[in-house]
Amino acid sequence: MHRSVFFVLVFSVVLGTGIVFSSHHWFTVWVGLELNTLSIVPILCGSFSPRNVESSVKYFLIQSVSAAVILNVVVIQAWLYSSWSISQPLGGYTSLLMTFAIGLKLGLFPCHYWFPDVIQGVGFLQGLALSTWQKLAPFVVLANVVDSLEVSVLACLGMLSVLVGGWGGLNQTQVRKVLAFSSIAHMGWICSTVGYSLSGGCVMLLVYVIINSGVFLLAGEYDLKSLSHVGRLSYFNYGGAVCLALGVLSLGGLPPLFGFSIKFVSLSCLVASGSFLLAGVLVLGSLLSLFFYLRVAFNSMLVLFPQHSMVIFGWRSLSSNPKGVTTLRGFTLSLSVGLSLFGLCCFPVLFSFL
């Protein structure tokens, strides 16, 4: 793909998300979502390999179905209330349809099946965009209509997403699939909280984007496709192995690390609203996720993953950039890793938004 075409597509993706952020009319929200989807699809299949094209087609079909459901909800709202305003409360039937459409875009249970396959079929940078940036526009739509949705339904979907995300990642050996199921579990935490505290859900999403960006960029920098590759990382770059282990443990919510703020904010909001059962189930679901987080951390630093002695690891291509040259990717990697490891120092600032 030519560089100018790539920059135009990236600008269109950012523009589509910006339209959703600034819109108060349902039609412009739908236009922003469609512009975002149509612009990200050529980026996903940039290498034109069969696996990339398959994942791009899956992503396009899922996003098209969800956008069509949103458009149907908008038409029903305009027919019943003669209003295209996004602030118009949804009815009982339309609120369920909107919950289904947003859950399909965010990868919530039972609409999560497409997300691990799509993440596995694209590169690390594309997977980073799908698991972070592409979640922003649907989350803004969810934040605008959350007062009209059934909080119990949204909380149940989030709770089941945490359980499915933890259970599905237990026997995975591919790093991208592990991160995909981790994303499903984290979106379950966020959506379970946003019905009770919108500001708490926004803080949790911000923290998740920072931590997940660091882990994805580290895995993409060292081309860690499977846990066997992770197990060989400490042999040639011990600093990268330490940062990866701490980043993964931060995703798991280890208290000294920045990821602990996600669990703390969610549990504080749920306990304050009296949802003790939901908080307990979320904690039990996070224990499942903690198992494969610890497995990735152990493989990166402490133990060697079971593998054949003839496994070839492409470490020679890691030093292609000249030493001392600062790139945008390197700066973003350093910033996201630094914040994910030491960002708990700014936790009082984040908690002040609640």
pLDDT digits over 152-197, tens only? 888 899 999 999 988 888 888 888 999 999 999 999 999 999 988 8
> Does residue 54 fall inside a structural domain?
yes
> Does residue 316 fall inside a structural domain?
no
pLDDT tens readout for residues 73-104: 989 888 888 888 888 888 888 889 999 999 99
Report pLDDT for 151.
86
> Does residue 225 fall inside a structural domain?
yes
Q: What is the three-class DSSP state of 226?
A: strand
- Is pLDDT of 312 > 60? no
Rounded to the nearest 10 degrees, the angle between the axes of helix 175-194 and helix 198-221 is 170
Which residue in the block uniquely carries the two structure tokens 């994942």?
55
Report pLDDT for 322.
42
Q: How many CA within 13 A on the CB side of residue 280?
A: 4
Q: How many CA within 13 A on the CB side of residue 57?
A: 7
- Is pLDDT of 139 > 90? yes
Q: Comparing 338 with 262, which gets the higher pLDDT?
A: 262
> Does residue 64 fall inside a structural domain?
yes
- Is pLDDT of 334 > 80? no
Model's pTM, two decimal places? Answer: 0.86
Number of structural domains found in the chain: 1
Q: How confident is the model at residue 310 (pLDDT cuts 50, 70, 90)?
A: very low
Domain housing 105: 3-309+323-351
Q: Comparing 1 with 33, which gets the higher pLDDT?
A: 33
Backbone φ and ψ for 176, nearest 5 degrees, come out as: -65, -35
Q: How confident is the model at residue 330 (pLDDT cuts 50, 70, 90)?
A: low
Report pLDDT for 186.
92
Token digits of residue 331: 């700066």
Report pLDDT for 141.
92
Report pLDDT for 328.
61
Q: How many CA within 13 A on the CB side of residue 154?
A: 29
| 103 alpha carbon, distance to own chain's centre | 13
Rounded to the nearest 10 degrees, the angle between the axes of helix 151-168 and helix 92-106 is 20
- Is pLDDT of 326 > 50? no
Report pLDDT for 5.
84
> Does residue 182 fall inside a structural domain?
yes
Report pLDDT for 316.
43
Q: Comparing 92 with 34, which gets the higher pLDDT?
A: 34
> Does residue 218 fall inside a structural domain?
yes
Report pLDDT for 294.
83
> Does residue 71 fall inside a structural domain?
yes
- Is pLDDT of 113 > 50? yes
**∠ at Cα 213 (210, 216), nearest 5°?**
155
> Does residue 318 fall inside a structural domain?
no
Mean pLDDT in the chain? 82
